[in-house]
Every structure is written in structure tokens, then in C-alpha cells.
Amino acid sequence: MIFMRYITIILFVLLVGSASAYELGMSPPRIALEGEVGMPLCTTVAVFSKDYRGLIVLSDHWSRTGGNNGATYMLSADEVRIAPEYSSSFFLNGSQEEIVCFTALRDGTARGLLLATTSAGNVEVGAWITLTAHAKGTALTGASVTEVGDVGTTFLLANLALTLFLAIFLYWLMRRAY
């Protein structure tokens, strides 16, 4: 009976002692891209490891709600109307920089997760993505008069006329009161 306990302990030590883990990292941990709809928005991502040498697979996953729970990032880029452009895999030998691009096909903000996974799938690291796209020709604070054209000019003149009317009416009320 004691003999069986020693064999069990020795087997346990041998099996646990042979377990290994890889250290895998990605920089930057957060990617924020902003630009126009239909324009590729690109950045450089570095994947690195001291002890892993092998194939790395890149993939992107998206969420409608965002947040820091990776399990909610179940949507494909097509489902959130984004066109990704990057190498789907590369060989890692120490450190590797990859250019990743995303083209938003509609305006708004999308939240995603870029994952780098070892070929065996046993180690995974990621970076949070926030992609904000604006309709073509609009500034971050809204459309300027020259970008909108005649409609913007008409709006500006109508706004000016309303402001003048209100100023004259206020002046009339103040004179009448005193």
C-alpha cells in the first residue's frame, strides 16, 4: 500500500514537472482608430515572446456592447460592417510587428478584440479595439457650412434672421417695460 503511494507521488511530480507555459505579449494593449467611413485605419501591433517560436494566428472579434468581458466579443467583422486587413498568420521568433487595418463601412463606433493565438491554440493574447468612423466630409464636431453647400448656407441665413428677429423683439419688450 505504501509502495502505491510512492509511485503515485513520483508520477504526479513527473507529470506536473513536465508542464510548460509560454509567455506571449502584445503591444499596444488598446487600439483606438478614428477616421472617415470607407478609409482604411491602420496601426502597428507588436507580438512578442521570450520562449515561444512558432506560428501565430491573428483574428478579430466584435461586440455590440463593448466592455472588458472577452466572452461578449462573438461577432464577426462582417456583422458590424467592418473590413479587416492584416496577415492572418505569421512566424514568431522573439518579436514581430504587424500592420493591422480596419475599414468601417458605416459611421459610428465599434468595439473589438484583436487576438494573437499560438498555432496549438493553448496561449492567446489580445488588444482591445475602439474604431470610430465619421461620414465623409464631416468634421468631428459636425458639418461646416462649406461642406454642406446650399443647405448649410440656407440654414445659416435662417438662423441669422431668427436671431435678429429675437433681438429686435427683446429690444421692443424692454422699451415698452420702461
Q: Which fold has domain 22-134?
A: Immunoglobulin-like (2.60.40)
Q: How many CB atoms lie within 10 A of CB 36?
A: 15
Structure confidence at residue 135 (pLDDT): 87
C-alpha distances (whole Å) from 128 to each of 19, 100, 159, 173 are: 30, 13, 43, 58
Task: Write down how long the chain is.
Answer: 178
- Domain boundaries along the sequence of the chain: 22-134, 145-177
End-to-end alpha carbon distance in the chain: 110
Examine the pLDDT at 55 and tell me if it is beyond 80. Answer: yes
* C-alpha to C-alpha distance for 110 and 106, rounded to whole angstroms: 10
pLDDT, greater one: 120 or 5: 120
For residue 170, name the pLDDT band (cuts at 50, 70, 90). confident
**49 pLDDT tier (thresholds 50, 70, 90):** very high
In percent, the amount of the chain with pLDDT more than 70 equals 79
- Taking only the tens place, the pLDDT of each residue in 119-166 is 888 889 999 999 999 987 655 554 444 444 556 677 778 888 888 888
Q: How confident is the model at residue 20 (pLDDT cuts 50, 70, 90)?
A: low
* Residues 4-23, mean pLDDT to the nearest whole number: 54
pLDDT score for 90: 95
pLDDT in tens, 63-110: 988 888 888 899 999 999 999 999 999 999 999 999 999 999 999 999
pTM: 0.65
Q: Which amino acid is present at 40?
A: P
Average pLDDT (158-176) is 85
pLDDT at position 177 is 74
